[in-house]
Chains A and B, each alone.
Chain A
Amino acid sequence: MKFGVIVFPGSNCDHDAYYAVAHNLAQRAEFIWHSDTSLGGVDAVILPGGFAYGDYLRCGAIAKFSPVMRAVREFAASGGPVLGICNGFQILVEAGLLPGALIRNRGLKFICRQVHLRAVTRDSIFTSAIQPGQVLRLPIAHGEGCYYADDRTLDQLEAEDRVLFRYLDNPNGSLRDIAGVLNRERNVMGMMPHPERASDPLMGSDDGLAIFRSVLNAMPVSA
């Protein structure tokens, strides 16, 4: 299959996401420039981490107006898998493709650390390759990763089984320990931890590869 990695000005995990799917997962991948208006026939889209547009104003607030986001919206509406990692999650939330908001970490500091996660839902194309009960070790690296939403939204996320990951050792004050969520149609996900940084045992963990592998497994025909 072919992954597309969106490059906004200020994206800085674009190469890492590319390397994880192209090298560690051995699939095709290409970069998509933020001013492109088409995704060019990719099977899944990754919005990578970084500081799109410097994260000025608010994380993701400017990136959501990028020309490529219209194509991402259309791709999502047509059921294509969309993964927002870290800054990508923040952009998807700002763009309204995912509910809630990401606010400053409880400790008000940037945190780079290995955390432990549990996949909450079994019903997603992003977690099918994760073993039931498996604890994932993934790194976080963010200053504004505290997941926030009103109680009604949180209740709804839980009722609809749309919480993708929860922290076992909540590092940033995220409400209900939420580390990742799904949209209602279950084809758009966002998560603050970095699976692309945990796709190679040499980097300390390859637990993150299961997330990309799940997307691969969900492809109807292996392209």
Chain B
Amino acid sequence: MTVAITPELVQQHQLTPDEYAKIVAILGREPSYTELGIFSVMWSEHCSYKSSRIHLKKLPTRGKLVVQGPGENAGIIDIGSGYVIAFKIESHNHPSFIEPFQGAATGSGGILRDIFTMGAYPIAVLDSLSFGRLDDPQTGARNRRILSGVVAGIAHYGNCFGVPTIGGECRFEPCYDGNPLVNVFALGVCRKEEIFYARAAGVGNPVIYVGARTGRDGIHGASMASAEFTEESKQKRPNVQVGDPFMEKLLLEACLEAMRTGAIVGIQDMGAAGLTCSTCEMGSRGEVGIEIELDRVPQRATGMTPYEIMLSESQERMLLVAEKGRENEVFAVFRKWGLEAAEIGVVTGDGKLRVRHHGEIVAEIPNRELADEAPVYDRPVAPLPDLPLEPGPWPHPADLQNDLLRLLAAPDVCSKRWIWEQYDYQVRTNTIAGPERCDAAILRIKETGSSIAITLDGNGRYCRLSPRQGAMLAVAEACRNLSTVGARPVAATNCLNFGNPERPEIMAQLVEAIEGMAEACRFFDTPITGGNVSLYNETLGEGIYPTPVMGIVGLLKTEAPVTIPFKNPGRSVVLVGGLGDSDETCFGGTEYAKEILRGLWGLPPALDLEYEQRVHSAIRRIIGDELAESAHDLSDGGLAVALAECSFGPGEIGAQVDLSSDLRPEILLFHEAPSRILISTAHPAQVAAIAAKYEIEAPVIGVTMEKGLEIRQRTVTLGAWEIAALKSTYDHALETHLA
């Protein structure tokens, strides 16, 4: 069957006339229908990063510990003792809106394959989730259904696969009503000499397909992820794939076992753009050609066309190149695990992706041009329309007693136990600190005797006010989270969730955020070893807040963690970093502004990178010297929320604090200036000495006590609360919102 290539068909494939002309120039002829499909997925925004590529180059990617930076399936960091960790974050936003359970499940599946493709055994998953308002009269029911489905999907896949989901974050804003964000981070560990790369090599070597059969599911998933949502998007449900975590678990064990035979040359998973992407990328990286015969591809449906086979995004499939003559060693492993494997082609020396169907050539494209020479755009930017700098109506005096309860009940702030209890966060018995125990999740690495800490941070509200400053604050907070558990931040991955880059004001947000992130990551010496860009996060023309999410990893000793809650009464409560400063303008992005004043204005909190870093050094020293009994950084909801959260331990130990400040009470209690960590200590003098050494403030603001939380400002009581009432509100709020 020959399909005529018309301008309409080209447009349906989301290729511009210029892009089509480039294709014709590369091929020296008109493409076939199959070739058009292949180009359209490889040159989609999702696969080619065509709008972001020139800006991503600004990110720091090198460092002493970086073994593999961007460009592979995951970044790799040396953690010593002969071991490395591989990690990356990826989005599955669009599929999760269309079909929340399978969208989120296959998002987890995809990033897990990226990790074990590199030879690393996955040992951790974290997720960053953004949803619309749960209580909105129009959209609330749908948003609750999306949240439940996404959480169940992540749980189903990770729990069955056997990887612990140990942390993450979850936020709610109206801008995510029609466009939830599902960003999944995964991390694995392997011996340094056992890293595998997604490179084909060795002319004449066999190309082997293993895993699930290819079906008609997920065709054009990558292109779908590169378009805005419209009313017709609901019809794209067949574009969402269906995940099978059991198959993935078998693939994991079998692939790692097959790698140990030494007979595998290169391996890549089939994720976005399926067989197309894995063949041409492996060929391009290895500077070789790959020829495959589609008749040999295991198929789930009959009568599939070459176009469908090449573009299918059926899950749980891997492509590998084995050493010629040693195929049987590889096949034996897959047989043991009950997996279907087939030799579908061969590595060639001509640099081309050649696809045959019933012996006929249906596509013949140079790998390098297809994989690496997608058009790159320097899209125009235009300044964002500013939000008002000054707040709207602000009732005085504030009802502080009630405001704290309202903030603890806010979906952004309250306990996410309802979510994380559905995740197995302990399997593989490495979890030293799982969800909500510390500011970062902590895993021991049994092989090295050391540990790693991981955190995800993003803040769309700050980034809406200033993408540059918001991105810097996200990096600073992530590094602070790690330092608060005593870890040294070493490397990062990023997930850049933005709207339509063809709109100059959206493009401006992307560029600003990347530049801010680059500056902060350079400053904190946390190179970005890989990540993901998700654009076109818009529904019916309504863009999300710019939402860059940082995943940062730190290294630390293996020991019992210093957790969030106060442990004993009578201890000094020290605010490492000091009370901080704020004003009405810098208060506009806070949770208080959102929940109590119902506004968003002004600027994000001010950030002094040098000071922030000295605070990190000091807290790592305090934790390392075992001076702190509890530690918790200040973030959403500021000091008052942090004090409450520290009181929610099993003993419900609270505190009496007295703040020496002239700030307006609600600003003092709820502002979100960075660089602040709340600790309780039996050794205030030693803590003070460390603070002095690093030239930071660390006032003793109060003392822990058996019952209640009381906050004063220069001896005037601002509020006094029963811990049980605060805790009950905090613990049950999410269930209440979901009911």
Please give the residue numbers on chain A whose beta carbons come within 8 Å of chain B beta carbons, in ascending order.
Answer: 9-10, 12-13, 15-16, 19-20, 49-51, 53-56, 109-113, 139, 141, 143, 194, 196-197, 199-203
Chain A residues touching B, majority SS: mixed
Q: How many Å from the CB of A2 to the closest CB on chain B?
A: 21
Q: Which of B168-176, B424-432, B490-498 contacts A (4 or more CB under 8 A)?
A: B424-432
Chain A residues near B249 (CB-CB < 8 A) = 9-10, 12, 51
Q: Are the CB atoms of A197 and B421 closer together than 8 Å?
A: no
- Nearest residue (CB) in B for A35 is B336
Inter-chain contact A51/B246, CB cutoff 8 Å: yes
Whether B421 lies near A203 (C-beta < 8 A) is no
Known: A50-B162, A202-B560, A203-B432. A110 touches B426 (CB 8 A): no
Complex CA–CA separation, A196 to B427 (angstroms): 10
Return the chain B residue nearest A50 by Cβ.
Answer: B162
Q: CB of B261 within 8 A of chain A?
A: no
Q: How far is the CB of B151 from chain A (nearest CB, A)?
A: 9
B429 touches A12 (CB 8 A): no
B428 A16 Cβ-Cβ under 8 A: yes
* Bound Cα distance from A13 to B559, whole angstroms: 23
Assess whether A9 is in contact with B424, with CB atoms less than 8 Å apart: no
Q: Which of A56, A113, A141, A203 contacts B159 (CB 8 A)?
A: A141
B161 and A112: CB pair below 8 A? Answer: no
**A-binding residues in B (CB < 8 A):** 152, 155-156, 159-162, 244-247, 249-250, 337-338, 420-429, 431-432, 444, 446, 558-560
| A171, closest chain B residue (CB) | B421
- Inter-subunit contact A16/B244 (CB<8 Å): no
With A54-B160, A55-B160 in contact, do A197 and B426 touch (Cβ < 8 Å)?
A: yes
> Is A12 a contact partner of B427 (Cβ separation < 8 A)?
yes
* A9-B337, A9-B338, A112-B422 as given contacts; A56 in contact with B427, CB under 8 Å: no
For this complex, 25 residue pairs linking A to B, each with C-beta atoms less than 8 Å apart, are: A9-B337, A9-B338, A10-B246, A10-B250, A12-B162, A12-B249, A12-B428, A15-B428, A54-B247, A55-B160, A109-B422, A110-B421, A110-B422, A110-B424, A112-B421, A112-B422, A112-B424, A143-B159, A197-B427, A197-B429, A199-B429, A200-B429, A202-B560, A203-B431, A203-B432
Measured CB to CB, the nearest residue on chain B to A23 is B446
Asked if A54 meets B155 with Cβ closer than 8 Å, knowing A202-B558, A203-B429, the reply is: no
Q: In the complex the two chains form, is B423's CB within 8 Å of A112's CB?
A: yes
Q: How far is the CB of B247 from chain A (nearest CB, A)?
A: 8
Cβ-neighbour of A19 out of B161, B426, B429 (below 8 A): B429
Return A203 CB to nearest CB of chain B, in Å: 6
Q: Whole-angstrom distance from the CB of A112 to the nearest CB of chain B?
A: 5
Q: Known: A54-B245, A202-B560. Contact between A141 and B426, CB under 8 A?
A: yes
B444 to chain A, nearest CB (A): 7
| Total of A-B residue pairs, C-beta within 8 Å | 84
**B422–A53 touching, CB < 8 Å:** no
Give B330 Cβ to nearest chain A Cβ, in Å.
Answer: 18
User: Roughly how many angstroms separate A165 CA and B424 CA in the complex, as a whole number?
Assistant: 22
Chain B residues with CB below 8 A from A203, complex form: 426, 429, 431-432
Q: How far apart are the CA atoms of A49 and B164 in the complex, in Å? A: 14
A197 to B428, CA, bound (A): 8
Known contacts A9-B338, A111-B421, A112-B423; A20/B246 CB under 8 A = no
Q: Which residue of B lies closest to A24 (CB)?
A: B429
- The CA of A15 and the CA of B430, in the complex, are separated in Å by 11
Closest 6 pairs between A and B when the two form their complex, measured CB to CB: A12-B162, A54-B246, A51-B160, A141-B424, A16-B429, A110-B422
User: Are B162 and A113 interface neighbours, CB within 8 A?
Assistant: no
When distances are taken between beta carbons in the complex, the residues of chain B under 8 Å from A139 are: 426
User: For residue B422, which residue of chain A has the nearest CB?
Assistant: A110
User: Which residues from chain B contact A49 at a C-beta distance below 8 Å?
Assistant: 427
Complexed CA–CA distance, A49 and B427 (Å): 9
Residues A113 and B427 in contact in the complex (CB < 8 Å), given A54-B160, A55-B160, A202-B558: no
B429:A9 contact, CB within 8 angstroms: no
Query: What chain B residues lie within 8 Å of A55 (beta carbons)?
Result: 160, 246
CB-CB under 8 A from A10, the residues of chain B are 160, 246, 249-250
CB B185 to nearest CB in A, in angstroms, measures 18
Shortest Cβ distance from residue A105 to the other chain B in the assembled complex, whole angstroms: 10
Nearest CB of chain B from residue A75's CB, rounded to whole Å: 23
> How far is the CB of A106 from the nearest CB of chain B, in Å?
14
Given A9-B337, A54-B245, A110-B155, 19 other A-B residues pairs in contact with their CB atoms under 8 A: A9-B249, A10-B160, A10-B249, A10-B250, A19-B429, A51-B245, A51-B249, A54-B160, A54-B247, A55-B160, A110-B423, A111-B422, A141-B426, A194-B426, A197-B427, A197-B429, A199-B429, A202-B444, A203-B426
CB atoms of A202 and B432 under 8 A apart: yes
Distance A199 CA – B159 CA, assembled complex (angstroms)? 21
How distant is the Cα of A50 from the Cα of B428 in the complex, in angstroms? Answer: 11
Which interface residue of A10, A12, A53, A143 has the most chain B CB atoms within 10 A? Answer: A12
Q: Which residue of B lies closest to A9 (CB)?
A: B250
Chain A residues lying within 8 Å of B428, measured Cβ to Cβ, are: 12, 15-16
Complex alpha-carbon distance, A194 and B426, angstroms: 10
Contacts of B560 in A (CB 8 A): 201-202
